[in-house]
Chains A and B, each alone.
Chain A
Amino acid sequence: MERIDVEPRQGWPSIIEQQGLIYWKTELPDGSVMPYWHESNAYTLGSDEVYEMEASVRLLMEMLVEAGDYIIESNLFSQMGIPGWAIPRIKETWESEPPMIYGRFDFAYGPEGFKLLEYNADTPTALVETAVQWHWCQDLYGAGGDQWNMVHELLVERWKELKERLPGDRLYLLHTSQEKSGEDFMTVGYMVETCREAGMTCELMPIEKLGLHEHLGFVDPEGRSVRSIFKLYPWEWMVHEEFADEALRRMGDEQGQTLWIEPIWKMMWSNKGILPVLWRLFPDHPNLLPAYFEGEQHSLSSYVRKPLLAREGANSLIVIDGQEADRGPDQGYGEEGYVVQQYTDLGSYDGNHPVLGVWTVDMEPAGLGIRESTGLVTNNLSRFVPHIIAD
């Protein structure tokens, strides 16, 4: 992989905004603005590297299935900070397999190859950016441009598969109106795009507007039953909120029930506790880093301590040779506990540290989106940088 200089397109901000990336301005603490979309550079990969990632991800998906079984058999829920009242539904949906849609693996690609940093299984974002980079590729390289990017097509295909399977006459796609930059709204908006293309009836709605009727179950603002939901809102928050009991009680395909995408069992995969579980089951796997629940014995002197539940690198701490090297912003995460994962080199490209986000649709690897940072923690100051396949 290499990082190359590229001439940015004339008028790129309005181009990407029209394609949904309306949240490309990251406001810095001093009030200045840093573009989150960065097209003055691009990463180039060889097709062999893409094939390798694709194969790794296929295998990791199978390993995750074993990890889910193991978490249930070994009853690791409390160690993972998953509340007791969610467990019966997690177990039940793990068995009955209601549909899932997507996820995103984050990899380091340093001198030792691809190393899994984590898997965002419940509410992955950067979907819009991933689409925008395809338009960038076409603008720059035309029909000859290549990119690992089948995300849109595979999402459309997946919705087509699910069209007959989802209860109700429409799918409600929920975002939170608490998020003000438009990132959550547009990510769900993009999902609407793919689901419409698949021929489904879609309703984009803030999750705050979801109503609960004593007899009908969940209803929309017009009083219609809400039978199928895609939500960009994490289960780890939902299970602590007011409607949690009823959502758990009324989960399913029947009248008065609601089918939720992603399914609640994704609380197992999206939890950082999955990292020590994978390492315990598959020690020395070349794509895994040694990882432990905090409190477990380990001999790592360079490691990253991550909260079981956290976003944007929040509350994570990097220790190199026993010394703190960097830390993410404090957003109050960590109450449920931590994992420690061996520190790994992300590689340095003109002083930038990329993280490779590999998309999965259902169980299939689907494409790539790269974010780079100048610091060691990939946080909300990272930049999305497009990529091309160079051979």
Chain B
Amino acid sequence: MSQRRRRRSRDVALVAVPVLALAFTACGGDDDTAYCVDQNDQIVENQYCDDDARSGGSSFFWLYGGSLISGNRYATGSRLKGGEKVAASNIAENARRGGFGSGSKTSASGVGRAAASHSGGG
């Protein structure tokens, strides 16, 4: 079985993983999510930011790392505070965002614990 041994010595330790683990625990991993908000920091449909980006308007913003003023659902109509606000018309050469990732049609939030529904277990 010796060829199956990892043979990875202790000093070739994980480099990125411990840093990332710490970063996620500290920030809750939330800070990268952007929400489309109006001038009152109220969440609106992403469509408004997309339209603004396309038209070069200045009424809507992407808000990074904001948190809710009340409640726990980041839904349309919620008010946010803090974070970084960027005019939708300026962002990354008008790239649209959020076209992947937010639209899962199931109640599962991620792909984790992707266990099998086994026949008798899996």
Contacts and interface: CB of A to CB of B under 8 A. Distances in A.
B18 interface: yes
A54 B87 CA distance: 54
Given A50-B4, A176-B101, A353-B120, A124 B24 contact: no
Interface residues of A, number: 114
Q: Identify whether the interface residues of B are mostly helix, strand, loop, or mixed.
A: loop
Q: Which of A183, A247, A311 has the most CB of B within 10 A?
A: A311
Given A106-B122, A343-B119, A17 B25 contact: yes
Interface bin, chain B: 35 or more
Contacts of B105: 237, 240, 332
Given A19-B18, A204-B20, A380-B113, A211 B92 contact: yes
B69 interface: no
Contact of B21 (A153, A189, A205): A189
A252 interface: no
Contact of A125 (B16, B28, B103, B112): B112
23 contacts: A20-B14, A20-B17, A22-B24, A50-B4, A125-B113, A150-B6, A152-B8, A177-B29, A180-B110, A182-B24, A189-B21, A197-B15, A207-B101, A208-B34, A211-B97, A219-B95, A242-B98, A304-B119, A313-B117, A318-B120, A343-B119, A353-B120, A355-B116
A304 to B, nearest CB: 4
Contacts of A382: 113, 115
Interface of B: 1-2, 4-6, 8, 10, 14-18, 20-21, 24-25, 28-30, 32-34, 91-122
B1 to A, nearest CB: 5
B115 A380 contact: yes
Nearest to A194: B16
Interface of A: 17-20, 22-23, 36, 47, 50, 106-108, 110, 115, 117-118, 120, 123-126, 128, 131, 134, 138, 146-150, 152-153, 176-187, 189-190, 192-193, 196-197, 204-214, 216, 219-223, 232-234, 237-238, 240-243, 246-247, 289, 303-304, 306-307, 310-316, 318, 328, 331-333, 341-346, 353-355, 371, 373, 376-380, 382, 389, 391
